[in-house]
Amino acid sequence: MPREKYKRALVFALIFGMAVFLGLPSKTQALTNMWDARLFRSDIIIQGATYPIGPIIHGVPGGMPIVVGDHLEIHGEISRPFGPVIINDSLQVRDWSVFEGDIDFKEGITVDFTGVNVTGLTQAPGDILYASASNLLTRLGIGSTGQILQVSGGLPTWQSIGTIPAPGTQGQILYSNGSAWVTLAPGTSGQFLQTQGAGANPVWAAAAGGSLWTDGGTITYLTSITDDLTLGGTDSSAPFYFDVGAGLLTLDSLQVGGATDYLLISSTGKLKLYGGATVWDDLRVPMTSTKSGLSKIPGFSQFKDDGSGSQGVFTYMFDQNVEEELYFTVELPHGYKPGGSIYPHVHWIPTDTGTGNVVWGLEYTWANIYSTYGNTSIITVTDAADGTADKHQWVPFPAISGTGKTESSILVCRIFRDATNVSDTYNNDVVLPQMDFHYEIEKIGLDSFIH
């Protein structure tokens, strides 16, 4: 006998034997009532497709339960119109089943078909099952059109958000009127959106006076050419005020530059320079404004004429063999940065094409107002003639520290050619028209004319 026919015969024999054992009068009756009020302590496998008469229908009159000790596996269709089923392990369904009574699952359920029709529970398309407790599934009915699923109190719920209008004209504004989302049509060019406060809808409005910031492409400007402009206030007392009629900009203060290097104009109009924004200037000492002593006086001679016997111009000539000197005083200007070092230098001229060094010396003492002068200090500098007659040369002395010095401090000085110094090798007179002091400037002047 073929294997498949053998199997069918065996199964039919088993079922027929069960029918005889249960005392059932026919196949149909056996398929209908075969498990009435029975307790099965192991697996139950219902192979519905084995029976040519169709699905297995089993039930328990009077609602007596069917208790399955391990698990129930259904391979075909099964309909159970009444009475509970208690399954202590699992239920496996591989086709289509209809359960109209209670089913108690002690562990799990495996479904291998396209759907489960639970007729004992009211449901509709779109309903949602969710866990309302750790061991309880609850149905949430489908919401209304436009609602969204939100979490409230740890559980899902449907919530209405109102209907958002479809996109319309470019430039429309979407806002809530308190009961629905509505749109505000685009305003006209130059208008701005103005709130009317709580309980009212926004509107388009024009700026007072018709003055608006306008993008002109490469420049942004105010459309009004008659309105004044303020920042930080509403009138001319604002920190920034531009008077259109007068063409005048008034600022409380102005800082130009970086964080450490900048120019500051204070609210009182004072200007001051900070960091790298400071500048330098010369404190000039023309030799014709100096004074000679009773000795070591340099000659005062003609330097140049017009080449045709004019009176010419005169200046001091310092000898190549004898130390000669002049005396002067200088006051540090009010723009001087207190404490800044000063840098003296001389402008001198060789009188022929000879070469050699010239040694210049500066003796000085320096004191602030109401301070006491101390002993003098002497600094020197050596510069070489390069063989060009009447050439304007410049050479700096070492810096003089200005620590503790202030505006209007005064230096008392002597300038001289140290001709007897072995390093002075230029063998002719030299011209000294002027000397100067470079000093650092941080302001235009003092805030007060009184120190």
CA separation for the pair 160, 171 (Å, rounded): 27
The pLDDT of residue 63 is above 50: no
CA separation for the pair 290, 302 (Å, rounded): 18
CA separation for the pair 301, 53 (Å, rounded): 148
3-state secondary structure of 449: coil
Q: What is the pLDDT of residues 335-370, one digit of tens each?
A: 999 999 999 999 999 999 999 999 999 999 999 999
CA separation for the pair 22, 71 (Å, rounded): 22
Decide if 321 contacts 416 (C-beta within 8 A).
no
CA separation for the pair 73, 46 (Å, rounded): 6
Helix, strand, coil abundance in the chain, percent, nearest 5: 10, 40, 50
* Nearest C-alpha neighbor of 68 from the set 85, 81, 83, 80: 85
Q: Per residue in 287-304, is it b (16+ CB within 10 Å) or e — as a string?
A: beebeeeeebebeeeebe
The mean of the pLDDT values for the chain is 78
pLDDT at residue 16 in the model = 43
The angle formed by the CA atoms of residues 376, 379 and 380, to the nearest 5 degrees, is 145
Query: In one letter, which amino acid is 264?
Result: L
The most distant pair of C-alpha atoms in the chain lies apart, rounded to whole Å, by 164
Token code pair at residue 151 = 């979490």
pLDDT at residue 135 in the model = 76
pLDDT at residue 225 in the model = 76
Cα→Cα distances 103→107, 373, 412, Å: 12, 114, 117
3-state secondary structure of 270: coil
Query: In one letter, which amino acid is 117?
Result: N
Token code pair at residue 39 = 């307790």
Report the C-alpha dihedral over residues 132, 135, 141, 144, rounded to 10 degrees.
40
Q: Which CATH number fits domain 279-441: 3.50.50.60, 3.90.1170.50, 2.60.120.260, 3.40.50.300?
A: 2.60.120.260
Decide if 374 contacts 366 (C-beta within 8 A).
no
Token code pair at residue 442 = 């941080």
pLDDT at residue 91 in the model = 53
Q: What is the pLDDT of residues 18-51, one digit of tens each?
A: 444 444 443 333 333 444 333 443 445 544 433 3
**Beta carbons within 10 angstroms of residue 360's beta carbon:** 25
The pLDDT of residue 61 is above 60: no
Q: What is the pLDDT of residues 385-405, one digit of tens each?
A: 999 999 999 999 999 999 999
83 φψ region: left (φ > 0), alpha (ψ -120 to 50), beta (else) = left
- DSSP codes, 208-258: GGG--EEE-SS-EEES-SS--EEESSSSTTSSEEEETTTTEEEES-EEEE-
Query: In one letter, which amino acid is 386?
Result: D
pLDDT at residue 103 in the model = 53
Q: What is the pLDDT of residues 158-197, one digit of tens each?
A: 887 766 777 778 888 888 888 888 888 888 887 888 888 8
**Ordered strands of the 229-231 beta sheet:** 229-231, 240-243, 248-251
Cα→Cα distances 227→25, 57, 212, 242, Å: 110, 94, 10, 9
pLDDT at residue 121 in the model = 54
CA separation for the pair 130, 284 (Å, rounded): 95
257 pLDDT band (50/70/90 cuts)? very high
Average pLDDT estimate for 85-107: 50
Decide if 268 contacts 253 (C-beta within 8 A).
no
111 pLDDT band (50/70/90 cuts)? very low
- Domain spans of the chain? 35-137, 209-248, 279-441
**Beta carbons within 10 angstroms of residue 336's beta carbon:** 25
| Between 6 and 255, residue with greater pLDDT | 255
